[in-house]
């Protein structure tokens, strides 16, 4: 149980393109989903917390107009990287939790984003 599906797993696109990443909880309803970014040989850095039906809460330094997050249902959250540039190239990972007061978080497989 507690499977989180993330798509796509790998994206290569030109600078200026917008990229959408989907995160789905397959066998449970996720009241909260999290989006992380991980640069090579570094730790996971939380970008934003997404609660179903409300606006995402962004961490300090993360541009909300660049990283658009939508959590329209209890099983789906999307992250759109708008006008992506090479410095946005990274490994993006989502996680989901049924009840944020009762961890653990379940992670998706991640999306490797490469901007040329």
Partner 1 sequence: GENVEQHPSTLSVQEGDSAVIKCTYSDSASNYFPWYKQELGKRPQLIIDIRSNVGEKKDQRIAVTLNKTAKHFSLHITETQPEDSAVYFCAAFTGTASKLTFGTGTRLQVTL
Using DSSP bridges, classify how beta strands 106-107 and 90-97 pair: parallel, antiparallel or unpaired. Answer: antiparallel
Partner residues linked to 22 by β-bridges: 7, 78
Smallest distance, Å, CB 110 to partner 1? Answer: 6
Residue 48 CB burial class (10 angstroms; 0-12, 13-18, ≥19): buried
Report the alpha-carbon distance of residue 12 to residue 44 in Å, rounded. Answer: 21
| Min CB(76)–partner 1 separation in Å | 18
Task: Compute the least distance from the CB of residue 46 to partner 1, in Å.
Answer: 6
Q: How far is the CB of 96 from partner 1 (least distance, A)?
A: 12
**Interface with partner 1 by CB under 8 A: which residues?**
32, 34, 42-46, 49, 91, 93, 100-101, 103-110, 112
The residue with tokens 């999306």 is 111
By C-beta, is 23 or 81 nearer to partner 1?
23
CB-nearer residue toward partner 1: 74 or 82: 74
Picking from 95, 85, 100, the residue whose alpha carbon sits closest to that of residue 45 is 95
Query: Among residues 81 and 110, whose Cβ is nearest to partner 1?
Result: 110
Collapsing DSSP to helix, strand or coil, 86 comes out as: helix
Q: Rank residues 32 and 75 by Cβ distance to partner 1 and give the closer one.
A: 32
């Amino acid at each position: 149980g507690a499977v989180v599906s993330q798509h796509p797993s790998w994206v290569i696109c030109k600078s200026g393109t917008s990229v959408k990443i989907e995160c789905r909880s397959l066998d449970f309803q996720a009241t909260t989903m999290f989006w992380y970014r991980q640069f090579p040989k570094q730790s996971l850095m939380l970008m934003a917390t997404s609660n179903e039906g409300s606006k995402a809460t962004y961490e300090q330094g993360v541009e909300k107009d660049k990283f658009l997050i939508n959590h329209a249902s209890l099983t789906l959250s999307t992250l759109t990287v708008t006008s992506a540039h090479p410095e946005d190239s990274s490994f993006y990972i989502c996680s989901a939790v049924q009840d944020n007061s009762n961890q653990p978080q379940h992670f998706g497989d991640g999306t490797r984003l490469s901007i040329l």
